[in-house]
Structure 1
Amino acid sequence: MRRLPIFFVIDISESMTGEPIELMEKGIENIVSSLRQDPHSLETVYISIIAFAGKAKAIAPLVDLISFYPPKIPVGGGTSIGSALNVLMDEIDTNVKKTTFETRGDWEPIVFLITDGKPTDDPSQAIIRWTDKYAKNVSLIAITLGLNADVGILNKISNTVLALENTDKNQFFKFIEWVSASVKAQSQMIELDNKNSPVSLDKVNNAGLKVIGTTSELNISDSSCVTLTGRCSSNRRPYLIKYAKPKLVEGMERFIKNHQYYHLEGAYKLEESYFDWSTDNYVAEQVDTSSLDGFPPCPQCGNQSAFAMCACGKLLCVGDENIVTCPWCEKNIKFNEGSADFLITRGQG
């Protein structure tokens, strides 16, 4: 039987923390549930998921719909699109059956690459490898969540770049429905016509998607959010604080004295696997706390502030105690009340 391989290559960087990751997990579940109700898809569709942050890895191997179990999606620091492409190409080499003189191989794979930011690695060599050996035999659709992706890079990878401008819950699931419908249509088409065809873009507008042809059509920026990593002083477990730029009505910037600030979006528990997915070799940038609006309690233990900084430069949480042991460097710290602003190292987003 000839299989139709579907690869989801998903950005799991810090900027996806919170609702975006939760929506993505639910979205994958909905796609699988919908495809299982389609007899054509049950016969042909095989699914794999590749996640990428500072590092990339296949978190779900290529398996049939019945055997597929949606994985827990992790979070990491960085957006290594080059690493993601290399893992995708390795997975295609290993798991997609090639046509030989004796047997017909799998149908051409379909890839949905979903990201919300700019690459933090240099993807140039991976793009050369992709263009030389894979692009002609794989249908890759790049989708940006929001308007902050590097479309110039995505256009080098794919002939089809789509932007989901409105990323609220209702619009996101319309996008998920479009993905499910597109895969169903492909599985039916190959059974009827015995050939692969490009994924149809006829109904992308109904899903809130916009076809992006040039880099000038989006605001290319990697400064849409600020992420900070800390550890709980009680249980030593990591957490992430996420700030996002407020959405300003066009033309209103001149009425706001300083619109380069970020509102608190939330504080979230992290797993230790966060550090396994994050890259170490990047140039750390700093942010002034005067541009951050709101300081949350610790999501791990509930301490009143998750925003205390040790002399080692790392964040930790503090409560009512006078002396706290830093969970990063093990030094005892005595915090005094104060409101002075300071510089702090930010995540890659």
Structure 2
Amino acid sequence: MRRLPVFFVIDCSESMAGQPLQAVQEGIDFIMSGLRTDPYALETVYVSVLAYAGIVRTLVPLTELFAYRSCELPLGGGTHLGKALDHLAKEIERSVMRTTADVKGDWKPIVYLFTDGRPTDDYEDAISRWNAKYENKVTLVAIGLGQDVDFSILKRLTTNCISLTQIDHEYVKSLCKWISASVVSQSISVGNNQEKQDLLPLDERYMHLAKEKLSFRKGRVDDRTVTFIGRCQKLHHPYILKYTRHLQYGELSDVNINLYNFKLQTCAGISEDYFSWTDHAAEKPKINTSVLEGGSNCPHCYAETAFAMCACGNLMCYDGYSEFAVCPWCLRQISFSASGEDFNLTRGQG
């Protein structure tokens, strides 16, 4: 039986922290459970899961559907789309069987690429390499999660660009139902020796084909999400603070510009694996606290604030009353004072 390889390539950057990543995690599990109920898919479909942030790794190598075991999606700093494409190309070369004079190889692979923003690495050459070799050999479906996806980049990879305007459980579940139905439809087609890979109709209540080309300011940092990493003073466990951009003043008449600030959206504990998924060689931009709005207590020990900065430049939690504290990063004893002054702080890539 010829195999139908299906690859899921998932953006696990900092901007996905919180509900977005959880919704995608549940969505992937939902897809696999649904496919296992279909006899055609069980016979032909092989799946692989790749994750990318500041680095790229294969979480699940190409494997039979019935043998798939759920994997936990990571979180890391950076959105390295270029590296993800090069890594995906190597996985295809390594695991997809080619047709030869003696043997019929696998069916045309399908790739579902998830992202919620824009790349933070050098992606130009990787896109050129991908298009030169795989444009006609792979069916790639690019899925933009949320309202800030740069489709001008994704459209250089594929015409199959789908926009999901919200990243919550309802929207992602609807998307995953569509993906499951698409894979089943394709598995039936190849089971009947017909290689038909047209997109199934979309549920317009939740998603639509992205026809517009959005243009974003180029750079190595996500300009719509600001993230910080802190550590719990008592337990030393890491956590992430995620702020999202909001329009503060629109088109001021005298200067004709928009002014934005960033409101706290998520403060949650994260795994130590975050640091191994982050590109530590990337630039370390700073942002002034004057444009940040909102605070949170520590998600681990529930201390009064998770936004206390040590002299070493790292964030930690603080209970608000102790005379001294020990920084969980540099292990120095420090004291805090509320100066009320704004300061610059190193942010993540997003």
- State the TM bucket, normalised to the shorter chain: over 0.9
Q: Does 1:151 align with 2:148?
A: no
Match of 1:35 in 2: 35
Question: CA separation of 1:237/1:126 partners in 2, compared to 1, >3 Å: closer, same or farther?
Answer: same
**Counterpart mapping for 1:34-183 below 5 A:** 34-183=34-183
Quote how far apart the aligned CAs of 1:278 are.
0.4
What do the CA deviations read for 1:54-97 (whole angstroms, capped 9, x no partner)? 10011111111111012011100000001111111111011111
Where 2:155 maps in the other structure, the secondary structure is helix
Q: Contact 2:297–2:304 (CA<8 Å) still a contact in 1? A: yes
Q: Does 1:327 align with 2:299?
A: no
Work out whether residues 175 and 207 of structure 1, in 8 Å CA contact, stay in contact via their aligned partners in 2.
Answer: no
Seen in structure 2, the aligned counterparts of structure 1 residues 33 and 207 have a Cα distance that, compared at 3 Å, is farther
More helix by share: 1
1:213 aligned partner? 211
Match of 1:238 in 2: 238
Task: Give unpaired runs (5+ residues) of structure 2.
Answer: none
Spell out the pairing of 1:194-213 with structure 2 (5 A cutoff). 194-201=193-200, 203-206=201-204, 208-213=206-211
Change (3 A) 1:156 1:237: same
Distance 2:52 2:296 in 1: 28
- Please tell me whether the aligned partners of residues 111 and 140 of structure 1 are also in contact (alpha carbons under 8 angstroms): yes
State whether residues 80 and 119 of structure 1, in contact with CA within 8 Å, keep that contact through their aligned partners in structure 2. yes
Of residues 280-289 and 68-77 in structure 1, the stretch that sits farther from structure 2 once superposed is 280-289
Where in structure 1 do 4 or more consecutive aligned residues deviate above 6 Å?
Answer: 218-221, 255-258
C-alpha distance in 1, partners of 2:119/2:266? 24
Q: CA RMSD in A?
A: 2.1
| Equivalent residues in 2 for 1:262-281, closer than 5 Å | 262-281=262-281
Aligned to 2:340: 339
Q: Which residue identity lines up with residue 281 of structure 1 in the other structure? A: A
Residue 38 of structure 1: CA displacement?
A: 0.8
Query: 2:278 aligned with 1:253, yes or no?
Result: no
Give the structure 1 partner of residue 309 of structure 2: 309
Q: Which moved more, 1:320-329 or 1:58-67?
A: 320-329
Secondary structure in structure 2 of the residue aligned to 1:29: helix
Instruction: Give aligned pairs, total.
Output: 343
Structure 1 residues 230-277: Cα deviation after superposition (integer angstroms, max 9, x where no partner): 1111122211001112479xxx83599985112211211111110110
Task: Using the TM superposition, give the Cα deviation of residue 169 of structure 1 relative to its aligned residue in structure 2, in angstroms.
Answer: 2.5
Counterparts of 2:217 and 2:62, CA distance in 1: 33
Normalised TM-score (structure 1): 0.93
Equivalent pair of 2:186/2:196 in contact (CA under 8 Å): yes
After TM superposition, the structure 1 stretch with the greater mean CA deviation from structure 2, 319-328 or 105-114, is 319-328
Q: Indicate the larger mover: 255-264 or 265-274.
A: 255-264
- Runs of at least 5 residues in structure 1 that lack an aligned partner in the other structure: none
How big is the shift at 1:318? Answer: 1.0
8 Å Cα contact 1:147-1:220 kept in structure 2: no
Task: Tell me which amino acid in the other structure corresponds to 2:330.
Answer: C
Checking the alignment, whether the CA contact within 8 Å between 2:35 and 2:42 is kept in structure 1 is yes
- 1:208 maps to amino acid: Y
Q: Alpha carbons of 1:331 and 1:180: their partners in 2 closer, same or farther (altered >3 Å)?
A: same
Aligned-partner SS, 1:153: helix
Residue identity in the other structure for 2:326: T
